[in-house]
Amino acid sequence: MLLVVGLGNPGTKYERNRHNIGFSAVEQIAEKFSSSPWVKKFRGELCEAKINKHRVLLLKPLTYMNLSGESVAAAAHFYKIPPENIIVIHDEIDLLPGKLRVKLGGGSGGHNGLKSIDAHIGPDYWRVRIGVGRPEVKENVVSHVLENFSKEELATQKKMLTAIVEYFPLLTEGDASGFMNKVALKMKA
């Protein structure tokens, strides 16, 4: 069983923010793979999908970003899912819009959602980092991630989400390199 977590903040006020790209990704994965209805559980919203032969739980923590680890840990402990079977999809300011990286483990890079997850389950889970760009002034990072995507960025992110959903089965099979390559090719097309 896999647990796929999309990071974001709950509520309509935040839904188009750069910080909510993880929520958007899991919502579209759920839609594509005919998931069960979303239910409120583990301080989040949870649904189940079947991707290839895998039972995949999709989770959107409703704890707000800084406490995401509470929701992730509750679901992981209940279903006895080890960190290496958890995939967290999140925004990444150190990547330009239209870029994506996947890696197992690592640091939080200052991302408060990842810091919270690390504190609750350790750092050894998969991260799907979706580029949202960095503001020119370091002090503007918080306002940058809590702002809505520009029209230009929105078109890029829509294309990115489509590619993530299309090739997500590769990631469930453990083919992170193949997944990244296919997404990158789709973004260049």
Residues identified as active-site: 19
Strand order, beta sheet including 86-92: 39-41, 44-51, 54-61, 2-6, 86-92, 126-131, 100-104
User: How many CB atoms lie under 10 A from the CB of residue 68?
Assistant: 32
Q: 80: how many CB neighbours lie within 10 A of its CB?
A: 8
